[in-house]
Structures are given as structure tokens and as C-alpha cells.
Amino acid sequence: MAAPTHEAQERTVVERRTIDYIPDAERHGHLISQFTLWLAANLQITAIVTGALAVVLGGDVFWSLVGLLLGQVLGGAVMALHGAQGPQLGLPQMISSRVQFGVYGAVIPIVLVCLMYVGFSASGTVLAGQAVAQLLHVGDEAGIVLFTAVIVAFTVFGYRLIHTVGRIASVIGVIAFVYLFAQLLIGHDVGQLLAIRHFSISSFLLAISLSASWQIAFGPYVADYSRYLPRTTSPRKTFWLIGAGSVLGAQTSMTFGVFAAALAGKQFSGHEVSFVVGLGATGAIAALLYFAIAFGKITITTLNAYGSVMSVATIVSGFRGDNRFSQRGRLAYVVVMIGAAMWLALAGRHAFLKEFSSFILFLLAFFTPWSAINLVDYYFITRDRYDVPALYDPNGRYGRWNATGIAVYVIGVVVQLPFISSGFYTGPFVDRLGGTDISWIVGLVVPALLYFWLARRAQRSMPAHLILPHDPAHADAKWEGETVAK
């Protein structure tokens, strides 16, 4: 399918592009939409549950809040550095991994990204389904199915609608949280909770890991939602607005989750939505809060679904050797990925909290090495001098497999194993560290340093500047440029 013209893009409501480069004529939007999108993506019930885990799993209120904030800042910086790549490259996030892993090799982390999309979508759909069920007075199963149908529709329309929904959801989310915090402060002695301070290094690091992993998990798709911004957009401003929206939204939600879990105790687990709404709302107000919870989940679940289309398309295009996708094929990807998430939500809705905790912590082992490699390469090795046409050519500059990137990625996963503590696996060093999980720190630092050292010494050809599709210099520059060697 030929790439649509700018005029066609303006006339059609449904987005037509997938993983192809966004030319300057089709760039649009303003940086404020990045702030509202990521604020809305984090002002939602799953973030509340994630914050609650810091208390449910043994932390006190004060140190949980401090740990969560520290993790937000650290993870949010990593996430926003990925997002700043979008306007400069005009590409979805994961296709740029072909620079570090090769056209075929990039499939390794992308397959794991797809699992992430399905997992997060499923966990979010459980909570959104509860809200829809309460709002419409139907069963949880029907609520999950109805919510899924809305996500399919929103994902099909694509980029423009996603940002529009983000702006609306950010306003609704702010209003809802102002009301909920007001009810919390009026009806309960929050100061008494903050006064209880029993510092535990393991609980403190757990809180950091929960919020850091929450932020880092956005990394594989954050640039998908900034790639249409004009190429002249400031990377620095892009970084700050994406990071500010995500950190502010997540910390607000998780702070509320910490207080909710501390007040509810065992009543919170398994009844997250009804407890949050029941803090101070009945009748029409309760209905509005259920609506706010469901609408808040639309934003993040649509991001997951849309990102899954980008990832599956990237996998397929790598082996097919082109970037052309029909609207019918795009719709099929949407239905398959969201359908899988719905099935998991229906099957696992009764054991959500425990399974979600294990999932989000174990997830770090596979995404922190990818994040470290991608950021080091983009900001310190290639310094955004990408050959965009070569990203779609297995015989091009980046080749089929990049042994350096793949080897460092595998090492980055393996070195974390002794430090992982989750329901899936617990490493041998965890007990020696008092039950503390520091795998995400190891998974960022070791691959970053190792990749920087190896990439600087590898014989690797790179262009002298960013090469774009239809660039007249592309034919001459394809195998020219700087060779990195030490």
C-alpha cells in the first residue's frame, strides 16, 4: 500500500500509517499534548493498585511514598529519554532497535514487548471491567467484554484520537482525584498514618522498584506517541513534558493507593475499584467515579493496544523486507492482541493483585537491558545519525543480526537473575540482601557500560548525518560515514 499523501491524511479520520517514517508534511501537534497524554495514562486505577502494593507487601505509608517518588524520578527519566527520540526520528520506538540488534535480531526484545502489552492490557482490563460492571449493573465478565470493544474502536482510529482522548482523560482524571483526595482528608486522619515511620530497606527498595518499573515499562512505546511532532521540536522540552506528565500522574495515583491500602487493610485486595469509590461516594457521585475509572483505563489500554500493532508490524516487516500494511491487516493485529488481553483478563480476574505484582517486577529483567542499550547507542554512539531506509533492509547497513547488541542484551538479562525477587523466580542473592530486589539497577548499569565499551571499539559504519527516506544523498551515503573504532 502506497504511503498516503498529506492531503489524504487530513481528510481521513482513521490513521493509515504504521511503522513507516512520518514525513515533515504530515507532522502535527504540540508538546502540551505529550504532557496531557502521559498525565492521563497515569491517573488511573492500575497505578493506584501499584502504589498500594508498597503497603500491602509490608511497607509503611511515609517511606513507601518517599520510595515511590524516588523510583518515579529515576524511571521517568529513562522513559522520557526514549520519548524525546520520537520527533527526531519520526519512527515508532521499537523499530529503532534494529540499529542496535539488526533487522532480524530486533525481534528478540520486540516479542517480549508484545507480551508486555498483553499483560498490562489484561491487568488493566480487569479493573476497568469492574468499573464498567458497577456503572452498568452487569457482571464483571460483561464489563470486561464491553470495555474491550471500546478499546478496539479507539485503537483502530489511531494517533490523533489517542491524543484527543488523552486530553479529555487528563481533565477527568484531575477532577476525580481532587474529589477522592478531598474525601480521604475529610474522613480519615492521614497525619496519623504519616507519623508511623518504621524504615525497612527491603520495603523501601520494593517501593522504588514498583514505581521505577512502572515508568521504565513505558519505554518501549513512548516514542510511538511523539513521532508525529514536527522535527524542529526541542528534544529537551519533549523530555521534560513527557517526564513531568508521567511522573506527576503516577505519583498522584500511587500516593492515593498507598493511603487506600493503609486504611483498608485486607479489604483492598480483590475489591480495588469498589473500595476506592466507596471511600466517600454514593448514588450519582459513585456512578461518575466509576465512569472516571473506566475512562481513565481507556487511555492506557489504548496505548498498549496501539503499541502492540507497531510491535507486531515491526516483527512482520523485518522478515518480509518492507513496511507496507493494509488497513485490514492493521485491524487484524488490533483484534488479535486485544482479544488475547481480554481472554487473560477473563481467566485471571480473581487473582489479579498478586499476579500483577509478580508480573511487573519480573518484567524489569527483560526491558531494562533493552532500554540501557537503546539509550546508550542513541545518545552516545550514533547520536541520532540513523539511516532510516536501512532500518527496513535486512541487507542494508544494520544487517540481519547485530551480535554485539544481542550478546549484551542476553548478558544484561542473565546478570539480573541472582537479584530478582518475584512470584515467578527468586534469585540466590535476594535473601542475603534482606529480600531486596535490586535487579533493575543491575539491568540498567551493566548493559549500559558494557555496550558503550564494546560499541566504541567495534568496526561499525554509520552515516555522518540522519538519512531520511527519499533523501537524495541516501544512495551515495548508504555505506559511507564514520566508522567507530577505538
Taking only the tens place, the pLDDT of each residue in 68-89 is 999 999 999 999 999 999 999 9
List the one residue out of 74, 61, 90, 97 whose CA is nearest residue 391. 97
d(CA 387, CA 131): 46
pLDDT tier for residue 12 given thresholds of 50, 70 and 90: low
Q: CATH topology for 27-363?
A: Hydantoin permease (1.10.4160)
Q: Residue 32, CB half-sphere, CA atoms under 13 Å: how many?
A: 4
The pLDDT tens digits for 159-193 are 999 999 999 999 999 999 998 888 888 877 777 88
Give the pLDDT confidence score for residue 5 in this predicted structure. Answer: 47
Give the pLDDT confidence score for residue 361 in this predicted structure. Answer: 60
The pLDDT tens digits for 291-320 are 888 888 888 889 988 888 888 888 888 777
Residue 62 has φ and ψ, to the nearest 5°, of -60, -55
For residue 484, pLDDT over 50 is answered with no
Give the pLDDT confidence score for residue 477 in this predicted structure. Answer: 43
Higher per-residue confidence, 7 vs 230: 230
pTM here is 0.88
pLDDT tier for residue 360 given thresholds of 50, 70 and 90: low
For residue 356, pLDDT over 80 is answered with no
Q: CB neighbours (10 Å) of residue 290?
A: 23
Cβ neighbours of residue 390 closer than 8 Å, sequence gap 6 or more: 396, 397, 398, 467, 478
Give the pLDDT confidence score for residue 126 in this predicted structure. Answer: 82
137 Ramachandran zone, left/alpha/beta (phi>0; psi -120 to 50): left
Which stretch of 119-128, 207-216, 251-260, 388-397 has the lowest confidence by average pLDDT? 119-128
Name the percent of the chain lying above pLDDT 90. 37
Higher per-residue confidence, 425 vs 139: 139
Give the pLDDT confidence score for residue 474 in this predicted structure. Answer: 44
List the one residue out of 249, 214, 256, 241 whose CA is nearest residue 74. 214
pLDDT tier for residue 9 given thresholds of 50, 70 and 90: very low
d(CA 93, CA 97): 8
